[in-house]
A and B are shown apart, each in its own frame.
Chain A
Amino acid sequence: MSYVIPIMIIALFLYAFYKKVNMYDSFVFGGKSACKLVVTTLPYIVAVFIMIEIFSASGLNTILANTLQPLFNVLGIPNEVTGLILIKPFSGSGSIAVLEQIICTHGPNSYITRCACAIVGSSEAIFFVSSVYFAKTKVKKFGLLIVIALLSNFVAAVVACNICKII
């Protein structure tokens, strides 16, 4: 599996060679555009990260987890992954850290671990994407879009937990 991306890159380089594309210029250009891009997105990332930090430091995430637990249980979601479902929309790296904890406590082959893996693999950090992707646009009003995104990922989590029971 780990060969897929390197082989694609080698193929690309060979093709670029054949097409006489100037690779040195391409990398210099990449560096330039990356600098501009990071400068544009930095303020948005800072805002989102302060929100995430407050969300977990204040214990708001535990309060929310405890409130939603009964609903989650009815839908077949085990208690152990509730925290993961709540942190996932906020932070990709945060949810990977939670996943690692789950793997350590429950073992890599357990039902809980498989649920957690499916949850992490089926969704993205919604709040991160929603602020960074629109950094260069004028959009301010998302309507119900964030609700739709959260709902879709939640449905996937429910499906994941129930399907892991069967497979």
Chain B
Amino acid sequence: MNFIFAVILLVGTIILTITSPQSVLETFVHGSTKAINLSIRLLAIYTVWLSILNIVENCGLDKKLQKVFSPIINKLFGDVECAKSDIAVNITANIFGMGNACVPSGISAMQKLDANSKYITSAMAMLFILNVTSLEVIPTTVIGLLISHGASNSANVILPTLIATLTSTICGIVLTKLYFKIKKRKNK
């Protein structure tokens, strides 16, 4: 992340300085303004979802979710007893495409999985991959957008999307497993 960030920032700023030097600072400020606007929106979204998730926890439903997903979690993450309920909530929120509802549980799970080292563990890697390859079964935002533009048959988008998202998730899981296997062998 550090490397990519540095390269894009450096090359981008150089190009921008050549093409329009007066807009360099403006672009930086514009970026952070957008970030703060988003954060305020996220604050509203997180408040709602964290409240609902708190009710879920107080009802003991997260333990039930954990039981449902337990076989999958054990298979993918190995032994992660402490973060299991957070991972279960995160996966549920991802599958139903609940906007940014997966973020709070994702952050909390990552915190519990943290091994106090600067290197990522395989369980953290798996959670990251699951979250970036999209588990969303029904792409609600996309379908909403299509309908608002008068699509006659938005359902014919669902099948290709489902196949594509399955491809990315499976591809991600296999590559991550493989990557950590190779790493382990190298360390031996």
Residues of A within 8 A of B (CB): 1, 4-5, 8-9, 12-13, 15-16, 19, 21-23, 26-27, 29-31, 33-35, 37-38, 40-42, 45-55, 57-60, 93, 96, 99-100, 103-104, 108-109, 113-115, 117-127, 129-146, 148-149, 151-153, 155-157, 159-160, 163-164, 167
Contacts and interface: CB of A to CB of B under 8 A. Distances in A.
Nearest to B48: A30
Given A118-B157, A123-B168, A163 B2 contact: no
A132 B107 CA distance: 8
Contacts of A42: 35-36, 39
A103 B154 CA distance: 12
15 contacts: A12-B52, A29-B54, A33-B46, A33-B54, A34-B104, A42-B39, A99-B145, A109-B152, A114-B160, A124-B131, A126-B132, A138-B114, A138-B116, A152-B167, A153-B132
Contacts of A29: 50-51, 54
B160 A163 contact: yes
Contacts of A138: 114, 116-118
B76 interface: no
Contacts of A55: 8, 12
B145 A103 contact: yes
Nearest to A160: B164
Interface of B: 1-2, 4-5, 8-9, 11-13, 15-16, 19, 23, 27-28, 30-32, 34-36, 38-39, 42-43, 46-56, 58-61, 96, 98, 103-104, 106-108, 110-111, 113-114, 116-120, 124-125, 127-129, 131-134, 136, 138-143, 145-146, 149-154, 156-157, 159-161, 163-165, 167-169, 171-172, 175-176, 179, 183
A152 B59 CA distance: 37
Given A30-B47, A167-B160, A120 B139 contact: yes
A26 B142 contact: no
Contact of A149 (B54, B159, B172): B172
Given A1-B143, A118-B157, A12 B42 contact: no
A28 B140 CA distance: 29
A53 B132 contact: no
Given A53-B30, A126-B132, A155 B167 contact: yes
Given A30-B51, A141-B120, 8 more contacts: A29-B54, A30-B50, A50-B35, A57-B27, A57-B30, A120-B139, A121-B139, A142-B1
Contacts of B12: 51, 54-55, 57-58, 60
B165 A122 contact: yes
Contact of B168 (A47, A48, A156): A156
A122 B168 CA distance: 7
B32 A46 contact: yes
Q: For A1, A13, A53, A126, which residue has the most chain B Cβ atoms within 10 angstroms? A: A53
B138 A1 contact: yes
A36 B113 CA distance: 20
Contacts of B61: 12, 15
A139 B59 CA distance: 33
Contacts of A131: 1
